[in-house]
């Protein structure tokens, strides 16, 4: 059965081109178009598409407001189009908070210059997020997402009462609002729908870890926010984050996390040193490695590699530098990036955790870890932050 798509954009040219690209795939059907957010809500209710592609800047109602209403009234996977600017990154992150599943750069030059590449990328994204559609079933007009974390005016670090590592204070508004209602429900799905390992995972193994390494892709910005806002300011281990994301986005994402979290978060730079309570985010378009002194090396992105940054590369360097003293976590995402790096970590004696299927937006990367029998534990997204504190305390 073809994936039904609603295309939303105020540009007639862009609506036509996106519709043409999607319609060239026989397994995708464009069932309608809309020129603004209000039309998008009406069309979503009437047509019940499997996926919605959404522009941000539109008359009458912008894309983020439309996403919030759609998640309340007829939750549907949304793919946002965004500009490759700092402001575009901020807006896209707001859209992900509101409930969008993934995003693509809105680049007219690429459509003209590389039509086949754009077609492949767009159609793959639509197919992948359509498979997350089951996570949006069973929601009616009573589903109201929590307020967006962007509304939080004060960083949690401003609080003078930092929680102790053994018993972190619950991350208030930011952590709860990080997951839209439709996604949050997945964490409460019955055990029968989750991966069987999830129900039998042991309590975290406590150890003096020298590094926590977290890799993720589709659904990762929201998932990372959910995990990191649960960590206390005095979290005892250094953290590295590898999120598949364009170069223009990672600085804005790191700044956002830094405002919301008790720990410090920054985009990694060459020569940065690992330290407890600091999370370094791999810069988009490049590769991040760690040496035995705890120094970060930022290398140019290799065009032969699909992912820039690549989880496998960072995990592999961590295995070489820290042997059995790494706790690696693989969160939601498409594909299998992280599996081979996790294999090297496992061979060195390090611990590997995977996010469970029920709480993933896309159960690709964690599934690759579980299927390769590399996971020491499989945890729900809501439990990972708490378990990190327990394991590293």
Residues annotated as part of the active site: 217, 244, 337
Dihedral sign, CA of 175, 178, 182, 188?
Answer: negative
Which residue do the tokens 């996977």 mark? 77
Question: What single string gives the DSSP state of each residue in 20-65?
Answer: HHHHTSTTEEEEEEESSHHHHHHHHHHH--SEEEE-S--SSS-HHH
* Residue 77 near residue 136, CB atoms below 8 Å: yes
- Measure CA 368 to chain center: 17
DSSP label of 222: H
- Measured CA to CA, the distance from residue 357 to residue 367 in angstroms comes to 8
How does DSSP assign 68-118, residue by residue? HHHHHHS---EEEEE-SSHHHHHHHHHHHHHT--EEEE--HHHHHH-HHHH
Which residues on adjacent β-strands are paired with residue 79? 53, 102
Classify 273 in phi/psi space as left (phi over 0), alpha (psi -120 to 50) or beta. beta
Q: Which of 386, 327, 352, 349 is nearest to 197 (CA)?
A: 352
Exposure string over 260-291, b if 16+ CB within 10 A, otherwise e: bbbbbbebbeeebebeebbbbbbbbebbbbbe
24 to each of 5, 51, 112, 164, 238, how far by Cα in Å? 13, 16, 16, 56, 47
Q: Which of 247, 246, 165 is nearest to 206 (CA)?
A: 165
């Amino acid at each position: 059965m073809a994936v039904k798509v609603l295309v939303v954009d105020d540009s007639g040219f862009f609506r036509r081109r996106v519709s043409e690209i999607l319609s060239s795939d026989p397994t995708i059907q464009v069932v309608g178009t809309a020129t603004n957010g209000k039309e998008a809500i009406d069309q979503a209710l009437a047509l019940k598409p499997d996926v919605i592609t959404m522009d941000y800047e539109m008359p009458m109602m912008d894309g983020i407001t439309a996403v919030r209403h759609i998640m309340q009234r007829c939750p549907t996977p949304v793919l946002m189009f965004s500009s490759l600017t700092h402001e575009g990154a901020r807006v896209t992150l707001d859209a992900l908070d509101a409930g969008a599943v993934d995003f693509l750069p809105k680049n007219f030059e690429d459509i003209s210059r590389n039509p086949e590449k754009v077609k492949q990328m767009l159609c793959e994204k639509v197919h992948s997020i359509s498979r997350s559609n089951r996570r949006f079933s069973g929601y009616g007009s009573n589903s109201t997402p929590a307020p967006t974390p962007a509304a939080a005016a004060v960083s949690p670090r401003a609080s003078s009462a930092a929680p102790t590592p053994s018993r972190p204070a619950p991350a208030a508004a930011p952590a709860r609002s990080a997951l839209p209602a439709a996604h949050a429900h997945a964490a409460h799905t019955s055990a029968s729908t989750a991966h069987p390992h999830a129900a039998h995972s042991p309590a975290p193994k406590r150890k003096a870890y020298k590094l926590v390494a977290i890799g993720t892709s589709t659904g990762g910005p929201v998932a990372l926010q959910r995990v990191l806002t649960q960590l206390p300011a005095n979290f005892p281990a250094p953290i590295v984050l590898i999120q598949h994301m364009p170069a223009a986005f990672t600085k804005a994402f790191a700044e956002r996390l830094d405002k919301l979290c008790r720990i410090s978060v920054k985009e990694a730079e060459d020569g940065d040193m690992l330290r407890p309570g600091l999370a370094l985010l791999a810069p988009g378009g490049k590769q991040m490695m760690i040496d035995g002194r705890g120094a970060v090396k930022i290398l140019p992105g290799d065009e032969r590699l699909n992912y820039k940054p690549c989880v496998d590369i960072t995990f592999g360097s961590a295995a070489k530098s820290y042997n059995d003293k790494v706790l690696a976590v693989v969160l939601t995402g498409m594909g299998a990036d992280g599996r081979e790096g996790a294999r090297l970590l496992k061979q060195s004696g390090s611990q590997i955790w995977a996010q469970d299927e029920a709480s993933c937006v896309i159960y690709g990367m964690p599934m690759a870890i579980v299927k390769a029998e590399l996971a020491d534990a499989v945890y729900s997204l809501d439990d990972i932050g708490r378990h990190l504190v327990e394991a590293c305390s």
